Amino acid sequence: MLMLEDQDLDNLLSQSCITSLREEHYDPILPPALKAKRTILCFQTDEYVHEKSVVEIKAEIEKENAWTKNRVDYVKKFNSKKGKCIIKIQFTSAEVAEKATTSGLLSFTYSIPYHQIQQEQYHPTRTCLRLSLRIMIV
């Protein structure tokens, strides 16, 4: 199915539609570009927040930020090469992710300011299989 607008795809893959598909044991996969629009990275988060489980972080973000209520899809946490704490949050819509980048987030009485939050970027790549085929033939 070809979608010309992100909004069309957003409507098709709305939370109610995704929930219905999951009830029927189908797991919809978002296109990488749309997934990136719905995802933010929180840099230099406090150790106290980073030590909590992803379930606790998700619940706390939804509790402390009313506009994220039931709109956090998943949370991942990891460390950068320099040892800085990073939290990756995917929301159910791009609008919520954009709001987080402009207003910041609260979590466990700590503030994650907007300048430490960045929306994930997607860079499309084209793969050339010509060289791969030559290697397999030889």
Domain range spanning residue 66?
31-119
* Beta carbons within 8 Å of 12's beta carbon, 6+ residues apart: 3
98 occurs within a structural domain: yes
Residue 132, domain member (yes or no): no
pLDDT in 10s for each residue of the chain, 138 residues: 555 566 666 677 677 777 888 889 887 777 888 889 999 999 999 999 989 999 999 999 999 999 999 999 999 999 888 878 999 999 988 899 999 999 999 999 899 999 999 999 998 887 776 665 555 554
138 occurs within a structural domain: no
Determine, yes or no, domain membership for 115: yes
- Whether 49 is covered by a domain: the verdict is yes
CATH number reported for the structural domain that contains residue 108 in this entry: 3.30.70.330
Q: How many domains does the chain have?
A: 1
